[in-house]
Structure 1
Amino acid sequence: MRTTIRDIQKMKRDGVAIPMITAYEYTAAQLVDRAGIPMILVGDSMGMVVHGHPSTLPVTLDDIVRHAASVVRGSTQALVVADLPFLTYATPEHAVAAAQRLMQQAGVQAVKLEGGAPIVSAVRRLTELGVPVMGHLGYTPQSENQIGIRVQGKQADEAATLIADALALQEAGAFAIVLELVPAALAEAVTQRLEIPTIGIGAGVHCDGQVQVWHDLLGLYGDKSPRHAKRYAEIGAAIETALKDYAGEVAERSFPTAANSAKMEPEALNAALAALKG
């Protein structure tokens, strides 16, 4: 049975920290499910870590639908949340159309939108129609050309706006809010003022939960991890070693062995060769 938004909200009320993982495909979803993590975000961060783009902006709704469907097929317990890509929620009507595809074609249980006051009408319309919505404040990657890649909310006016936006999203019906690259003290203040959960990424320990990107957490690439990420394993290095070992055994012809090969009776092969000569 899948985790629901009510389960996530109950975790906040009970003081239980909420882990979430950003993942993009079937096998990863299976592993997240087996680990007992209650939420998977199918994020537009796939633009960088899966498709090799410099930002999230090239990610299309088709991309999200395809990856989200794979994650849904791979999981049976986690609540699957999918990002709405850049400019697919410029109006409430656009947001409804995008969410319809993600829920009907991919089978996700919720969607995530970036921003505050400008998207409140879209959040309200989606929730009126029965679509669970997760908000996203602070550093919003889809706006990086406007705001830059930096911590958000350090100044008093920015902090006040962020708190007001969080309250507005809650009032519009959002069931949770991601806080990204927000000073820890501000994230704590937001968390204390909201009835709905906050999920932090680079926002300190006092959020109700945390989200990390699959590739960051597992060390799947050689680049330096961002400060807000922690590598819990070096799977990338282990994969590289395995690939080198494989290539070496192929080169020296020690793989495959007889145990890796199929067999046939010599008489059958001789008969086949004789038939060819005939």
Structure 2
Amino acid sequence: MYTQLEQRGSPRPPVSIATLQKMKIDGERVACLTAYDASFAMLLDQAGVDLVLVGDSLGMVIQGHETTVPVTMEHVLYHTRAVARGLARPFLVADLPFMSYATCEAALANSVRLMQEGGAKMVKLESGASQLNIVEFLARHDIPVCAHVGLKPQSVHKVGGFRVQGREHEAAERMRATAHELQDAGADIVLLECIPATLGAAIAADLSVPVIGIGAGGDVDGQILVLYDILDITPGRKPKFAHNFMAGAGSPLAAIEAYVAAVKDRSYPAPEHCF
């Protein structure tokens, strides 16, 4: 592994929050993917991915659960450490798993672990109006935060399944307001999942921080997908917004490079990937 990292190198400087902010200002799309191990992390680095998320999606694609709810802090820490060893340039974000941020104090303690022990540069938490105080508390303690809005997989049992959020006017306006409040509370990035493309565009235009989408249309500041979906590894039915970049690619690296290129030139997401 050491030899691979030595040989790989990274000709561009590491991505920072300032880099991501400049990309938004310049209109350059941010290409993001999930990763769960060092080997794939190295491929993402080599392919030019800007941001890597160690998502609690690992509970579904790695552990075989039906939801992300069973994922624990120890699981996320283990995979964050592994991914961090494989990265040089991309900005590394780690998920705070279910109930790991139920209080401000727990959120801070677990965020510190993900950064100090795991090597993450930012934490992501599923956010709504009830998490504003937690985002603000973390920001006051200099913890970089990505606020996850829209479909929140950790709440799947409460909302009744994986379904598009913000279709109704009132719900959309509430989401726009919440996203702005999260930015004002100190969120450095807002991630939107499974919302109408028009709503994604409106929120991205509203906010000064980068807005990353997964199933949120093409007019946000960046895109993120689950790595296993773009490589067509995940069995069964895929989400509407997923796209198989492995078809005709010849190798996982080529598929990841094709994804990055498609995000950068805005050919992904296409209309068929949007709500």
Once the two structures are superposed, what CA deviation does each residue of 1:82-130 show, in whole Å capped at 9, x if it has no partner? 0000011111111001101101111110000102111111111111111
Q: Distance in 2 between matches of 1:140 and 1:92?
A: 19
1:195 and 2:208 aligned: yes
Q: Does 1:157 align with 2:170?
A: yes
Are positions 1:34 and 2:46 aligned together?
A: yes
Aligned partners of 1:234, 1:52: CA distance in 2, in Å? 24
Deviations 1:59-101 (A, max 9, x none): 0000000000000000011110000000111111110011011
Q: Let me know the Cα RMSD of the aligned residues.
A: 1.5
Structure 1 counterpart of 2:142, which letter? Answer: G
Aligned to 1:16, which of 10, 25, 28?
Answer: 28
* 1:88 aligns to 2:88 (yes or no): no
Output the amino acid matched with 2:116: Q
Residue deviations 1:141-196 (CA, integer Å, cap 9, x gap): 00011113110001111111101110011001111111000000011111110001
How far is 1:58 from its partner? 0.3
Residue 16 of structure 1 aligns with an amino acid whose one-letter code is: E
Q: How far 1:31 moved relative to its partner?
A: 0.3
SS of equivalent to 2:97: coil
- Which is greater in Rg? 1
Give TM-score, length-normalised by structure 2.
Answer: 0.84
The number of aligned residues is 238
1:143 to 155, 162, 168: 155
Aligned to 1:226: 239
Q: Distance in 2 between matches of 1:197 and 1:104?
A: 24
- Structure 2 residue 144 is matched with structure 1 residue 127: no
One-letter code aligned to 2:34? T
Local SS of the residue matching 2:93: strand
The structural deviation recorded for 1:17 is: 0.6
Q: Is this contact kept in 2: 1:80–1:108, CA < 8 A?
A: yes
Q: Identity over the aligned pairs, expressed in percent?
A: 42
Quick one: distance in 1 between partners of 2:216 and 2:97? 23
Distance 2:235 2:66 in 1: 16
Aligned pair 1:112/2:124, yes or no? yes
Give the aligned partner of residue 56 of structure 2: 44
The aligned runs of 1:169-188 (5 Å cut-off) are 169-188=182-201
Unaligned 5+ runs, structure 1 = 240-278
- Counterpart secondary structure, 2:126: coil
Post-superposition shift, 1:223? 1.6
How far apart are the structure 1 equivalents of 2:34 and 2:244? 14
Match in the other structure for 1:250 = none
Q: Which amino acid aligns with 2:223?
A: Q
Give yes or no for the alignment of 1:2 onto 2:34: no
Gaps of 5+ in 2: 1-12, 253-275
Whether the 8 Å CA contact 1:116–1:168 is kept in 2: the answer is no
3-state SS in 1 of match to 2:192 = strand
Cα deviation digits, residues 15-60 of structure 1 (max 9, x gap): 1011100111100100000011110000000000000011000000
Separation in 1, partners of 2:124, 2:110:
11
Which 4+ runs in 1 deviate beyond 4 A?
Answer: none
TM-score (norm 1): 0.83
Residue type of the partner of 2:27? Answer: G
1:69 aligns with 2:84: no
CA distance in 1, matches of 2:127, 2:170: 16
